[in-house]
DNA sequence: TCAGATAAAATCGCGC
DNA sequence: GCGCGATTTTATCTGA
């Protein structure tokens, strides 16, 4: 692909928007790390908290998965969802 | 780790703050994906844009060193630069 | 890092061993695709077989996870594993 | 999909062949990781070796095209090659 | 052809 | 301080 002269600005715009969003994302990641640090200072064990968070997330993910499997079975039976 | 009865609320608070921040982080990640999608629709190549973003993020001294090592290996393998 | 003249052979050797192993790995991947093709020819639905395989793999993974969590709880209770 | 009673054995056979092949594939992947480990112990840089392997695998025409696109983007961004 | 899923790779944090 | 394990990110592949 070639870039016409007036396309340069578009490329730069995309790159800068991505960089801006990645900064925000990194900032959130830092905040998360900070909360784990606070929790540790309060006497909690960060790895265990991590497991709690993962477990809570998986519970909702599992719900979604079960519904997906149900849909597959419905389809296998030729029944409408 | 032990948790005194009146610490439960603290633990819950930490967990919820983390979950909230992770939601925001995930939202930014979605936004980034969206921008790559827009760029693609505009005729740009997302993997190459990724390389540009990575290069801009990387320290120039480190970049130079990496490229030097790569050149050395290429030469050792008898491959053209 | 620099590569002395007599190190070139070592680099080449590593690269060739990796390439050889990757070929074998790719060959296995092709074999797997072929089995899915056979299954399809026999009237089975490949995506569904994929789900079966994933499910069987996940079952053992889940077992391991449950044991890990149990170990964590043991530790949290100050009990020996 | 429906499965006649006497088709169960066939399905099981397909599943087990796939699982066996996937085990072999995973074993090769482990071997590859091991070689990278050896290379590192010998003073080589694994990520750079990866780049060499990838470059050798890639079609030279395609490689040239990718580098051309990258150069165009770099120029459009006003970045040095 | 493109989005979604899967697997590979790089990065980061922990423990030794 | 380094290797190891886990997480996150990137690339490949399958299916619509």
The model's pTM is 0.91
Q: Is B14 on the interface with D (CB under 8 A)?
A: no
Q: Are B52 and D73 in contact (CB under 8 A)?
A: yes
Nucleotide closest to D22 measured between CA and C1': E7
Is B77 in a helix, a strand, or coil?
A: coil
- A:B CB pairs within 8 Å: 84
Q: Which of A4-13, A24-33, A36-45, D46-55 has the lowest mean pLDDT?
A: A4-13
C-beta within 7 A of nucleic chain F, residues 27-56 of B: 29, 47, 50-51, 54
Q: What is the pLDDT of residues B9-66, one digit of tens each?
A: 899 999 999 999 999 999 999 999 999 999 999 999 999 999 999 999 999 999 999 9
In chain B, count of helices (H) and strands (E)?
A: 3, 0
- Is the CB of D79 less than 8 angstroms away from the CB of B73? no
Q: Give percent of chain D above pLDDT 70.
A: 94
Q: Is B49 on the interface with A (CB under 8 A)?
A: yes
Q: Average pLDDT of chain B?
A: 91
- In chain A, the percentage of residues whose pLDDT exceeds 70 is 93
Taking only Cα atoms into account, the Rg of chain C, rounded to an integer number of angstroms, comes to: 23
Record the tokens describing residue C41, joined without a space: 């020819």
Contacts of C36 in chain D (CB under 8 A): 18
- Give CA–CA dist A22/A12, Å, rounded: 15
Residues 47-76 of D with CB under 7 A from strand F: none
Question: Measured between CB atoms, does D71 come within 8 Å of chain B?
Answer: no
Element holding B4 (H helix, E strand): none
C59 touches chain D (CB under 8 A): no
> Cβ of A53 < 7 Å from strand F?
no
pLDDT for C4: 63
DSSP letters along C26-47, please? Answer: HHHHHHHHHHHHHHHHTT--HH
Q: How far apart are CA D28 and CA D42, in angstroms?
A: 21
């Amino acid at each position: 692909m070639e870039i016409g002269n007036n396309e340069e600005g578009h490329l730069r715009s995309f790159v800068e928007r991505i960089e801006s969003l990645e900064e925000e994302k990194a900032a959130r990641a830092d905040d998360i790390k900070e909360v784990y640090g606070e929790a540790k200072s309060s006497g909690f064990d960060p790895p265990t908290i991590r497991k709690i968070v993962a477990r809570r997330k998986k519970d909702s993910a599992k719900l979604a998965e079960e519904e997906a499997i149900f849909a597959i079975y419905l389809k296998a039976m030729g029944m409408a969802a």
